Amino acid sequence: MIVGIYTKDFALLNKITNKINDSKIKLRHIENLPIKARDIDVLITKKRIRKCKIPQIQPDNLDILELRIRCEIYDCKNIIIGIDPGGMTGLSVIGANRILFMDNYKRVEDLANIVKSMNGEIGISIIKIGLGSPPERTRIIDSLREFSGIIQLVDEHNSGSGSHTKAATRIALREGESNEDKTYDPKPGEIAWIQKQSRRKSKGLVTIDKELAHKILIGQITMQDAIKQYTKKMKL
* pLDDT in the model for residue 159: 59
- Boundary residue ending a domain (178, 199, 218): 178
45 and 134 in a single domain? The answer is no
Let me know whether 92 and 19 are in one domain: no
First CA to last CA across the chain, in angstroms? 64
Q: Are residues 84 and 168 in the same domain?
A: yes
- Domain-embedded: residue 204: yes
* Residue at a domain's end among 156, 178, 200: 178
Residues 99 and 167 in one domain: yes
Does some domain include residue 66? no
Question: Could you tell me if residue 68 is inside a domain?
Answer: no
For residue 208, what are the β-bridge partners? none
90 and 150, same structural domain?
A: yes
Asked whether residue 90 falls in the same domain as residue 49, the answer is no
91 and 115 housed in the same domain? yes
pLDDT of 182 reads 56
CA 110 to CA 95: how far, in whole Å? 22
Query: Is residue 35 a part of any domain in this protein?
Result: yes
The answer on 143 and 121 residing in a single domain is: yes
Domain carrying residue 6: 2-58
pLDDT at 63: 97
Q: What percent of the chain has pLDDT over 70?
A: 94
User: What confidence score (pLDDT) does residue 15 get?
Assistant: 95
Q: Note the pLDDT tens digit of each residue in 158-203.
A: 656 689 999 999 999 998 887 654 566 788 888 998 899 899 989 9
Coil vs helix vs strand at 138: helix
Are residues 168 and 193 part of one domain?
Answer: no
Do 171 and 92 fall into the same domain?
yes
Q: CB neighbours of 83 closer than 8 A, spacing ≥ 6?
A: 89, 90, 91, 111, 127, 128, 129, 130, 140, 168, 171
What stretches of 144-187 show up as alpha helix (H) in DSSP?
A: 164-173
Domain total in the chain: 3
Distance CA 160, CA 200 (A): 27
| 101 located within any domain | yes
Could you tell me if 165 and 84 lie in one domain?
yes
Residue 72 lies in a domain: no
pLDDT 10s digits, 121-141: 999 999 999 988 888 888 898
Same-domain status, 106 and 156: yes
Show the low-confidence residues of the chain (pLDDT under 50). Answer: 181
Tell me the C-alpha to C-alpha distance, in Å, between residue 191 and each of 88, 122, 186: 21, 40, 7
